[in-house]
Structure 1
Amino acid sequence: MNKMAYFPPEHSSYRVYHGDVADTLQLIANRYIGSQPKHPWVFRASHRGAFKRNIDYRYEFDFVEKFPEIRDGQFVYAWAKLWSDQEAELPFSVSCFGPVRVYVNGELAFKSNIQEDVFPDQRSWFRQKLQAGWNHFVLQFEKTGTGCGGHFGTGSIKGLPLHFVTASAERDGQEGWLYTEPLDERLAELPGEGTTEADDPVRWLPQAAWEEAELRRGVFGRLFADEEGEVAYAWTKLVNQRPDGAAVEIAGEHRGALTVYLNGKEVYRSASDSGNYRITVPCGYGVHDLLVRSERPADDAKWDHELRMISSGTALQAPVLVHGFAADWLYTGAFRKGSEPAAADLCRLDTVFEAAKGGTYWRVDQPNTVLRPFVETTHYGRWNYPLGVTLYGLLRTGLKLGRQDYVDYVLDHIEQCTAYEQYALWDKEQYGGAGINHQLTAIDSLDDCGSFAATMLYAMEQRELKGARKVADRIAHYISHEQSRLEDGALYRVTGSTLFMKDTMWCDDLYMSTPFLARYYELTGDRAYVDDAAKQFLLYKKYLYMPELKIMSHVYDFKFDKQNKVPWGRGNGWVLFSLTELLRVLPEDHEDRDELLTFFRELSEGYLALQGENGLWHQVLTMPESYEEASCTSMFIYAFARGVRYGWLTNPEPYVEAVERGWEGLARYAIDGEGNIYGVCRGSGYAFSALYYKDDLPWNLNDTHGIGIVMLAGIETWLLREALRNRNSEHGERTDL
């Protein structure tokens, strides 16, 4: 048995399918989709008067602003909970406006020191073990001369943009934190699991219930009293479970001229400003959109409506499950009369409506409380660069296997993000950190956009995806006009989420940029984008190529003005993989094509020489003692197979052999019989020491940096075999997915 084996030979996919590509791809795809099923957003009630998450996804607690009369020596507490699927250790970050303590499940997890107390811009990190299930967080803030409060939340801005949930039984499920008024003494007992607001002697804010005077104003009156505009809407679902599908009866009262719509069509209009009504509505079996439009009464003393079902077997149901608030109706407004959206366009959750005072969304009948979507899955519905290549592999697998269910899974994932593009950007503007599309709404690097968007452009060829073109245009503008560049035009990292990234160039970023630019050129026909992609490869070659080995250094650090000289496997894989994506679309008459083809051949020669005895390449390409790494292996297979198919490699025999050895190596040593992928390096930082890559960057099981790439390697192996069997054309089968 290979001493570096990830599992016993008996557990390999090779033992099951003997390297058959179609069966192996289906095995991987089924495991991935089975473990990451489709999930919609989670919609939570969220109080606008609580605390915002900033762009770094930490909550800002400023109690001097909230309580101007707070005195030195007083304490304020904030309380929320966080879910964990399993026992885990997560990173957290704190910045202190004064003394801060963080308690997790009743135990002290962090206590600020005298230096942290007086440097509010300083970040402090700690890691905390969480139990499976709910974990209660209580923050204790003390008022001193420097302030009271701080920033608290995730210690991994892009990797783990956490949001917290209110923890009391009365508001269970709302997003955000409860907090106390200033207290003269510390709490004798911290709140936790089972604590209710009703039984707790402490008053927890923000206000959850309407005052009596507000209730008397009616639902529209209390929600929109301070809003400009004369029109508001209420939306619910009418559920008809009568098997005969007969018409149903509805009754109600209103204060303010009223119109009722069923599935976008008007079914009732009041003849006066107020009164009672009873109508019969033709309504088949099933669930239907019921929408009420109401106009503000002239006296504005009470603006209200009530509606109830008369027919048996019928009920009202909230348009979406709202966590943290039990009610059947959502509300939006207020709009200028004559300028409101059409009724047929209102019953949706992916749109911000233009109201009298700007954008507005749906809210619930609770003080200052809005509806917000949140992504609470680990994979489905998220937008990040590893998922971009995962979905690319899964989409091509679905197309090659003729599995429309795989294709639809990918397209639906992408469209869930793009359809909410407008909303997510507005959400970020309103609340500091969006609840969905985290990286897409806060683009500040190539990682945030290029990988996933390249797959999105490919997906757009399969069917129209709502909002996708706007996303593509925004990303093209970012890469071309906003991303930092050197004077010669080379893309690089002038800043980063961590200090060591400052003033660096990573070979990874060729994948984060050039495949998108190549596909955007195909979409628009604008040659400037493919010109830029070609230019980037030649510029990166200037800074990162190691001609003596014919491979690439991982990083060039402009702080030291030198390469780090470490040939990290996946970084090199991104380079060759991306170059094939560019060469596929680069015009035959392009001025840089010959030079780029020469570069592709030189790199291929360098990588070919470093293939390991098991057919796999290593984490550090020049260190056979480093582990066999699946993602770089897959990318070299992918690129070699394409190089042969497209005729870019003039001496194809050794590359065909390398592809076959590589795919067999993956099937034997990296893919087990249940479709799990082993040996994929986790996301990396960088160092000038090769030992960082060898020893401090371990592999992860089923890491999304590798799942899709392994599938892509299988696809290209399959296409190469077909091409070699088909010698009826000059270069064999060239059909590209």
Structure 2
Amino acid sequence: MRRTIFSYLMLAVLFTACQTATEKFPTKQEVLDKMVLTNQYFMDKWPDTGKSIVTNRERPSNIWTRAVYYEGLMELYKIKPGPAYLDYAVSWGEAHSWGLRDGVTTRNADNQCCGQTYIDLYNMEADSVRIRDIKASIDSMMVTDKIDDWDWIDALQMSMPVFAKLKVLTGDTAYSERMYDMYMDTKVTQGLWNPEDSLWWRDKDFLPPYTEPNGEDCYWSRGNGWVVAALVRVIDILPNDPHRDEYQSTLLQMLEALIPLQREDGFWGVSLHDPSHFEGPETSGTALFVYGMAWAVNNGLVDEAKYKPVIQKAWNAMAQKAVHENGFLGYLQGTGKEPKDGQPVTYTSMPDFEDYGLGCFLLGASEVYKMAE
């Protein structure tokens, strides 16, 4: 009997200790350790940066999924500069001759996402070949009046920062004004923003009367995460843009709307308004929401006392429940456009593409690192 009571007491102590660890905000070193671990897993798995990605078919490795990873890698490089990370990024650009999938005539935002890192690397070493194709692609859009290319919300994260970076690089406000016009076309003309819920429908397929099984509108977690990331990156790149109020107001409305939608375990699910639809944790959307919230705290745009517990709970959930000992990221939804895609999402399930999920995680971690003591 004494042994049984002792066992229960020990279990209670361990449970309390685990709870305390979970509720503690991480140190900078703890955040960096997770960034290094997860990134090293990926670099070890993909030593050849030019190797094609083969899933249901073969794709070049400068597609959007890999480009999002490099966004995250560049943030890790800022925290922990070193030749290994920089060389890995440069070799990726060189492997593709600094080109875009489908060439310079592409208007597809997914194909342009790699340009974010190309421009960053150009800013480190001004070799014109690094920005030749991405600038040509955007310039080919600028000579037309067409502004409705971004008909799915993922596109905002893939391409808006490219326009913003080109504005800074050239000093030409035509890039940032065209970016604003295209963004507003997506938001207002195409009507993908719902001001009532302060969230975005992924594309026209999900506009009402489309509903989730519980009768609510379908707000896809990662899709809204892409918009959060787009707005954060654009404001960060263009802090004095004349349209900053629009971008910032939308971002803050989204962050406010996301707080009550956080799961008890710290994650957000794949379906923001129907937690029972493909229920369970999801890492990529959670990481992007953490990215936006932590960035807003770090830039003094929101009340830290209000948002820090939300960020802490989400970060600890990802760090303790999603990151494997070898650096593999669990609970990562595969590619798609809605809750049912890329299922099942489990601790051990392998998504069709691992790269963008790691990019999201590194982005979120980079801002949590800045918050940490």
Match status 1:637 vs 2:290: yes
> Residues 694, 400 of structure 1: CA spacing in aligned structure 2 closer, same or farther, 3 A cutoff?
same
- Structure-1 residue corresponding to 2:203: 555
- Structure-2 residue corresponding to 1:674: 326
Partner of 1:418, secondary structure, is: coil
> Could you say what the CA RMSD is over the residues aligned between the two structures, in angstroms?
3.1
Match status 1:540 vs 2:182: no
- Structure-2 residue corresponding to 1:447: 110
Q: Is the 8 A contact 2:220 2:337 kept in 1?
A: no
- How many pairs are equivalent? 336
Which of 563, 570, 573 is the matching residue for 2:225? 573
Query: Quick check: which one's helix share is greater?
Result: 2
Match status 1:30 vs 2:33: no
Cα distance per residue 1:12-35 (max 9 Å; x no partner): xx9xxx771111111111111111
Cα distance per residue 1:110-153 (max 9 Å; x no partner): xxxxxxxxxxxxxxxxxxxxxxxxxxxxxxxxxxxxxxxxxxxx
> Residues 609, 479 of structure 1: CA spacing in aligned structure 2 closer, same or farther, 3 A cutoff?
farther
Q: Distance in 1 between matches of 2:195 and 2:287?
A: 23
CA deviation after TM superposition for structure 1 residue 566, in Å? 1.5
- Structure-1 residue corresponding to 2:249: 598
> Residues 670, 481 of structure 1: CA spacing in aligned structure 2 closer, same or farther, 3 A cutoff?
farther
- Structure-2 residue corresponding to 1:209: none
Q: Distance in 2 between matches of 1:41 and 1:629?
A: 28
Q: Distance in 1 between matches of 2:199 and 2:49?
A: 42
Q: Is the 8 A contact 1:507 1:555 kept in 2?
A: yes
- Structure-1 residue corresponding to 2:315: 663
Q: Is the 8 A contact 2:156 2:227 kept in 1?
A: yes
Partner of 1:601, secondary structure, is: helix
> Which one scores higher on RCO, CA 8 angstroms, separation ≥ 6?
2
Q: Distance in 1 between matches of 2:49 and 2:343?
A: 31
- Structure-2 residue corresponding to 1:526: 172
- Structure-1 residue corresponding to 2:73: 394
The one-letter code sitting in structure 2 at the alignment partner of 1:401 is: K
Partner of 2:89, secondary structure, is: helix
CA deviation after TM superposition for structure 1 residue 417, in Å? 1.6
Q: Is the 8 A contact 1:515 1:578 kept in 2?
A: yes
CA deviation after TM superposition for structure 1 residue 695, in Å? 6.5
Cα distance per residue 1:654-698 (max 9 Å; x no partner): 222222211111111211111001122211145xxxxxx236644
CA deviation after TM superposition for structure 1 residue 639, in Å? 0.8
Q: Is the 8 A contact 2:333 2:341 kept in 1?
A: no
Using structure 2 for the length normalisation, give the TM-score: 0.80
CA deviation after TM superposition for structure 1 residue 455, in Å? 1.9
Pairing 1:83-232 to 2, within 5 Å after superposition: 156=57, 160-161=58-59
Cα distance per residue 1:552-573 (max 9 Å; x no partner): 1111249x89777410011000
The one-letter code sitting in structure 1 at the alignment partner of 2:76 is: T
> Residues 444, 562 of structure 1: CA spacing in aligned structure 2 closer, same or farther, 3 A cutoff?
farther
Which of 121, 127, 142 is the matching residue for 1:459? 121
CA deviation after TM superposition for structure 1 residue 396, in Å? 1.8
Q: Is the 8 A contact 2:49 2:88 kept in 1?
A: no
Q: Distance in 2 between matches of 1:442 and 1:595?
A: 30
Q: Distance in 2 between matches of 1:404 and 1:461?
A: 16
The one-letter code sitting in structure 2 at the alignment partner of 1:615 is: G
Structure 1 vs Structure 2: percent identity of aligned residues?
Answer: 22
Q: Distance in 2 between matches of 1:597 and 1:679?
A: 30
Partner of 1:612, secondary structure, is: coil
Q: Is the 8 A contact 2:105 2:137 kept in 1?
A: no
Which is worse superposed, 464-473 or 30-39? 464-473
Q: Distance in 2 between matches of 1:562 and 1:442?
A: 36
Using structure 1 for the length normalisation, give the TM-score: 0.42
Q: Distance in 2 between matches of 1:572 and 1:562?
A: 19
Q: Is the 8 A contact 1:556 1:562 kept in 2?
A: no
Match status 1:708 vs 2:334: no
Q: Is the 8 A contact 1:398 1:405 kept in 2?
A: no
Which of 132, 144, 147 is the matching residue for 1:470? 132
- Structure-1 residue corresponding to 2:7: none
> Residues 666, 469 of structure 1: CA spacing in aligned structure 2 closer, same or farther, 3 A cutoff?
same
Partner of 1:705, secondary structure, is: helix
The one-letter code sitting in structure 2 at the alignment partner of 1:405 is: A
Partner of 2:96, secondary structure, is: helix
Match status 1:620 vs 2:289: no
Cα distance per residue 1:572-618 (max 9 Å; x no partner): 0000110011112335361x322332222111111122111121111
The one-letter code sitting in structure 2 at the alignment partner of 1:623 is: D
Any gaps of 5 or more consecutive residues in structure 2? 1-17, 212-216
Partner of 2:204, secondary structure, is: strand
- Structure-2 residue corresponding to 1:407: 86
Partner of 1:673, secondary structure, is: coil
> Residues 40, 563 of structure 1: CA spacing in aligned structure 2 closer, same or farther, 3 A cutoff?
closer
Cα distance per residue 1:392-451 (max 9 Å; x no partner): 1112212311332112111221122235x5xxxxxxxxxxxxxxx6444673522111x1
Query: Quick check: which one's strand share is greater?
Result: 1
Partner of 1:665, secondary structure, is: helix
> Residues 395, 642 of structure 1: CA spacing in aligned structure 2 closer, same or farther, 3 A cutoff?
same
Q: Is the 8 A contact 2:49 2:91 kept in 1?
A: no
Partner of 1:578, secondary structure, is: helix
Q: Distance in 1 between matches of 2:263 and 2:252?
A: 20
Q: Distance in 1 between matches of 2:297 and 2:336?
A: 31
Q: Distance in 2 between matches of 1:513 and 1:459?
A: 17
Q: Is the 8 A contact 1:538 1:596 kept in 2?
A: no
Partner of 1:680, secondary structure, is: coil
